[in-house]
Structure 1
């Protein structure tokens, strides 16, 4: 379903392209290089870029992320949307920074900037301490060292919120393994649903919720405990909707980690419904078919104000803001440039 973008200012793309002296063909080549570096799914050519600049085709999420990397601007500055609180707004009349001003920041600064989207969700957690832990792990990882004392990071959020992207970023920084629920269990879950008389990609029925889902999370957690018992820090990537909503489950998890002398960080990735829908549509997964067919019903069932019970952190990925910082940090760490 086509959706309007009332805040979109496509002419800003052309302005930024011309200010750094790129042709449409040059821009396509650089966008393809960025896509290869970041794993974006785009095939940029001058016709597509022309359509974006003329306003006839609104760029998809991977195109917008690639444009942000190319022009060193966030989505608001490139005119794709309004600015979030604290973001820089579009610049339409002031000349763009010179090439010297466009250079990438230092690696530690870029990492910290990307991690700055982690903020305290409750008063009993310390986001600066978590950022320092991750930065320390990154430094030790890149230096070939190891981290003493394992850490378990739970990264949760609604479908399409950007939790997997953020979990992968943390894993790439620290070298900690990522346990993704879907990657670990999807083939078995699909076949189990069929064996029980359901449909392979069903994730909304009572059959799935009562008979299958508990086994999914049990597999995920057992794999995590195997790592922890070996002293290996681990990142868990899953929605955790039911688990984070239960104070008892959260307390049991905290107690078990404490008994093993394991540090815990619970991160909730928040996002707006429109952005979640766009990312769900973009990935085109069969398990999301019901969500797309009954979007209004699905969204009505989400508690968008939900936060995990107990100590936790929050990453604000509304309008893709946190993922944009992650992209910049990846560019800096890879040495990517114009």
Structure 2
């Protein structure tokens, strides 16, 4: 019968709407496999996937060029760090709010490294971007320095040139920059293998009754 909606489908939709959505912050150094892990989590939990580069890279590169800056140099670019990067994060955090308001869980694929020292960062962004209630999960993507360096070499991104040319500085900084955020559950994701495996991570989530 056209135009009808089954009672079973209606009940299912109501049940879905009562579930508190989740926000997964997938963090780790460049080349650690955040994007692969993020996509796996999004598929496993039926969440919206928001990648900072996909959402902002066209505007970021244009703004850097207009400022006579190298579009591939960001780690040591004051204009990028102080002006552009805050706009990038504000954009993806607003997109997160829009999805949460629609009842969708979200996976955020972005480094967030500059904000790690601020223990109250999550509370601040929830208030500033007017997020509704959500469960926050910080996913730490881990792998060895040797494995990370090989991945950076293999992918050959121009923006990784500084990291590889100054490897000891980059790697020591990445290790020292630990995440101090409160107000969320923190889970490690071992990505040392050749391909990311969601099995152990999903089990850890299930153990927490999330």
> How much does 1:221 deviate?
0.7
Which ranges in structure 1 are unaligned for 5 or more consecutive residues? Answer: 1-142, 330-338
Q: How does 1:184-333 map to 2 (within 5 A)?
A: 184-204=55-75, 205-253=77-125, 260-304=132-176, 306-310=178-182, 311-317=184-190, 319-320=192-193, 323-326=195-198
Asked whether the 8 Å contact 2:37–2:196 carries over to 1, the reply is: no
Asked whether the 8 Å contact 1:161–1:270 carries over to 2, the reply is: yes
> How much does 1:324 deviate?
4.5
Partner of 1:99: none
TM-score normalised by the chain length of structure 2: 0.76
Distance 2:118 2:169 in 1: 24
Distance 1:306 1:259 in 2: 25
Distance 1:258 1:189 in 2: 25
Structure 1 runs, 4 residues or longer, greater than 6 Å off: 256-259
Instruction: Map Cα deviations across residues 280-308 of structure 1 (whole Å, 9 max, x no partner).
Output: 11111121121122212222322346134
> How much does 1:207 deviate?
2.0
Give the 3-state SS of the residue equivalent to 2:139 in structure 1.
strand
Partner of 2:29: 158
Q: 1:191 to 1:256 in 2, by over 3 A?
A: closer
Greater displacement, 247-256 / 229-238: 247-256
| Residue from 159, 173, 176 that aligns with 2:44 | 173
> How much does 1:267 deviate?
1.6
Which ranges in structure 2 are unaligned for 5 or more consecutive residues? Answer: 1-11, 202-210
Q: How does 1:97-112 map to 2 (within 5 A)?
A: none
Asked whether the 8 Å contact 2:42–2:48 carries over to 1, the reply is: yes
Larger relative contact order (CA 8 Å, sep ≥ 6): 2
Give the 3-state SS of the residue equivalent to 1:303 in structure 2.
helix
TM-score normalised by the chain length of structure 1: 0.49
Greater displacement, 245-254 / 154-163: 245-254
Greater Rg over alpha carbons, structure: 1
Partner of 2:5: none
Asked whether the 8 Å contact 1:268–1:312 carries over to 2, the reply is: no
Give the 3-state SS of the residue equivalent to 2:24 in structure 1.
strand
Q: 1:149 to 1:302 in 2, by over 3 A?
A: closer
> How much does 1:254 deviate?
5.2
Distance 1:240 1:214 in 2: 10
Higher relative strand content:
2
Distance 1:291 1:156 in 2: 17
Asked whether the 8 Å contact 1:275–1:320 carries over to 2, the reply is: no
Distance 1:280 1:314 in 2: 24
1:183 and 2:54 correspond: yes
Give the 3-state SS of the residue equivalent to 1:152 in structure 2.
strand
Distance 2:150 2:192 in 1: 10
